[in-house]
Structure 1
Amino acid sequence: MSRSDRSTRAMHQALPPALREAVDDFAEHLSRVRNRSTHTVRAYVTDLVSLFDHAVRMGCVDLTELDLSVLRSWLARQRTTGAARTSLARRAASARAFSAWAHRAGLLSADVGAALASPRAHRELPSVLRADQAAALIDGPTRRVTPTDPPPTDLPNTQGAPTKPAREGPAAEAAVPLRDRVLLELLYATGVRVSEACGLDVADVDHGRRVIRVFGKGGRERSVPYGVPAQRALDDWLRQGRPAMVSARSGDALLLGARGGRLNPTTARQIVGAYAEAAGLPRTSPHGLRHSAATHLLEGGADLRAVQELLGHSSLASTQIYTHVSVERLRAAYRQAHPRA
């Protein structure tokens, strides 16, 4: 447990029983009714515990005493302690979500958070790789372009050294580049989130139609196509790689870690970063490959709505940022090439 988690737990336990119960009930609602991920629920709980800790310090010991002034005071305190605009926007959203739920549940007589304003989060343009850079990254496992220390194949042990494969020998060692290759291919070919890629089961791959079934945020299911290079990588992995790494812990997982269990997203991030560094590319993450895939699709003429569906965005506004990336690239090319720029 991290230091921040321990701090949140301590503040949670110190809350008055009514407030503590409200936090727990809202967390259960998010998890069971809204089908939010564990990470998302934890973020909401952290924000609410912080809010209620501030409210208690202001003299509010009962949920009915929560009002707009308390919410605004809490955000103002966050701002004075140096919270970023993105953090403030997220915390305000947490307060509004809780207020709306509490009002519907009859815990609040009014939705006091409905009028809570929050600073507009500054959205930086995501960094993306060029198409040739993405190709160089994906070819790393095939060309044996590896860093001085090979990409981690599982979570580090307590000493910090990479763990050894559960099944040792030439076949298991040869399986790692095949796993790394299919991971890189799928991330770039489909633009899926790293958690979605690691969550794939063998049965989620439709080889005939060349699509994968993905379960995204909120448990929303979508089908995402992939190309011939990714199909070849999948075939090699399923024929030669996965059988060499499979263990009793594997279950139906498509991508496996060194111990034979499902590949962990943290390890997947390490793999992507290590191959990018080995290829001399800018610092790259799985989300960077997702950004790159979306940008290259739009630059190639894909419809914005189609890209939204592929990425699993619930709102078109989330997808539109990639049109700004393309415009910025066009401006850069214009400034570099046009004599009158």
Structure 2
Amino acid sequence: MFPERFIQHIKFEKRYSPHTVSAYQSDLDQFISYLNNPDHEDPPPAPTITHPSEVTHHLIRNWMVELMNQKLTARSINRKIATLRKYFKFLLQEGIITSNPASKINTPKIPKNLPVVVEDIKLTQMLDENEVFSHDFKGQRDKLVIETLFGTGIRLSELIGIKESDINIYEGTVKVLGKRNKQRIIPVNNELRILMTQYLELKKNQNFDNNSITLVVTNKGADAYPKLIYLIVQKYLSYISTQNKKSPHVLRHTFATSLLNRGADLNAIKELLGHANLSATQIYTHNSVERLKSIYKQAHPKA
């Protein structure tokens, strides 16, 4: 099936992030496992495939049906089909196959869910209270995580990838590496700039053994990992929110929605978030419209 050649291509030539490469690898492994598993009963048993040219759009569609039966979300299924489209497109360009069987697949529609946000006023109040975050390294590290995610709107992967050298305290900016290795410079508010300065000094005084150059580190000085950031965010958002979803992306959504509600230009928000196109940013306008409707219903006599 030549999946190794494709993975090498996106890893070294396209220079996709490790997270993206891992996702592509996982999707392909699942699909190949499905093709070579003779025990399927619903849909009918799939034949053992020895060459990618033997894969038909019917087989891909049957796999998609099985994913639906497994109760996967439309978003997850669409991502897996997108992986197959890109994989077979690569094989087509390499001359290994003569047509792309995934190009004929119609994917399920993704329901348009509004981005989940927290109340920015409550979030700001929590960050301004001295009692919430302890003044030791762990407490200030946690505060830095929340302040940075809310103050810049960066992704989880971008946060754990920030190095100390990426921060320009004097200019008040931070450099992040986004999707597809695209760099962007994001302004940092004055409070976050002061916090970063204090945190870096505190981190230096910990005298960690490994002397990590990564901005966010564990209590022992090792590079931060995704689960640690999730646990930090969930802990502090539980103080101000009862909603089920309490993830780093909620702070990203809150950042964008707060800017839009206060009159920021949509194109500027797009650049700050690192979106490839404006359509990805426009989802935040729905939150603003809902907010305006709520204000209208409360204030207008005819509402």
Q: TM-score, normalised by structure 2?
A: 0.89
Tell me the residue number matched to 1:249. 210
1:55 is displaced (CA, Å) by 3.0
Alignment-derived partner of residue 230 in structure 1: 192
Percent of residue pairs identical: 29
**Alignment partner of 1:40 is 2:35:** no
Shift of the alpha carbon at 1:237? Answer: 1.0
Is 1:138 equivalent to 2:127 in the alignment? Answer: yes
Cα deviation digits, residues 250-306 of structure 1 (max 9, x gap): 321122211111222211221121122234664532211110000111111111111
Name the CA distance, whole Å, in 1 between partners of 2:70 and 2:132.
48
What letter is aligned with 2:214? Answer: A
Alignment partners' CA distance in 2, 1:117 and 1:87: 14
1:324 alignment partner in structure 2:
286
1:87 Cα offset (Å)? 1.9
Q: Distance in 1 between matches of 2:174 and 2:297?
A: 40
Distance in 2, matches of 1:279 and 1:245, equals: 31
Q: Structure 1 residues 297, 78: CA separation in 2 closer, same or farther (over 3 Å shift)?
A: same
Q: CA offset at residue 243 of structure 1?
A: 1.7
- Report how many aligned residue pairs link the two structures: 293
Name the residue aligned to 1:78.
67
CA contact (8 A) 1:96 1:113 kept: yes
Map Cα deviations across residues 99-119 of structure 1 (whole Å, 9 max, x no partner). 111101111112222222211
CA distance in 2, matches of 1:220, 1:248: 32
Question: Corresponding residue for 2:224?
Answer: 263
Deviates more, 1:49-58 or 1:301-310: 49-58
What do you get for the CA RMSD once the two structures are aligned? Answer: 2.0
* 2:8 partner letter: E
- Which deviates the most, 75-84 or 260-269? 75-84
- The unaligned stretches of length 5 or more in structure 1 are 1-18, 147-172
1:75 Cα deviation after fit = 1.2
User: What is the Cα deviation at residue 245 of structure 1?
Assistant: 2.9
The separation in 1 between residues aligned to 2:257 and 2:241, in whole angstroms, is 21
Structure 2 counterpart of 1:161:
none
Query: How far does the alpha carbon of each residue in 1:133-170 deviate from its partner, in whole angstroms, 9 at most, with x for none?
Result: 22133235x32357xxxxxxxxxxxxxxxxxxxxxxxx
Distance 1:211 1:179 in 2: 19
1:211 positional shift: 0.7
For the residues of structure 1 that align with 2:167 and 2:197, how far apart are their CA atoms?
A: 11
1:219-273 residue CA offsets vs partner (Å, 9 max, x unmatched): 110000011111111121122x212334232321122211111222211221121
Amino acid of the residue matched to residue 338 of structure 1? H
2:55 aligned partner = 66
- Secondary structure of 2:184's counterpart equals strand
Question: How far 1:205 sits from its partner (Å)?
Answer: 0.6
Q: In 1, are the aligned partners of 2:167 and 2:175 still within 8 Å (CA)?
A: yes
Instruction: State the shift of 1:67 in Å.
Output: 2.0
The question of 1:216 aligning with 2:196 is answered no
Alignment match, 2:42:
none
- Per the alignment, residue 11 of structure 2 pairs with 31
Partner Cα separation in structure 2 for residue 296 and residue 66 of structure 1: 47
Letter in 2 for 1:205: I
Give the 3 Å change call, closer, same or farther, for CA 115–200 of structure 1 in structure 2: same
Q: Which amino acid aligns with 1:257?
A: T
User: Counterparts of 1:63 and 1:214 in 2: how far apart (Å)?
Assistant: 38
> Which among 209, 233, 236 is matched to residue 275 of structure 1?
236
| Contact residue 133 and residue 142 of structure 2 kept, 8 A | no
- Structure 2 unpaired stretches of 5+: 39-45
Partner of 1:208: helix, strand, or coil?
Answer: coil
Contact persistence 1:250–1:256 (CA under 8 A): no
* Alpha-carbon separation, structure 2, partners of 1:268 and 1:262: 11
The DSSP-based 3-state class of the residue aligned with 2:104 is coil
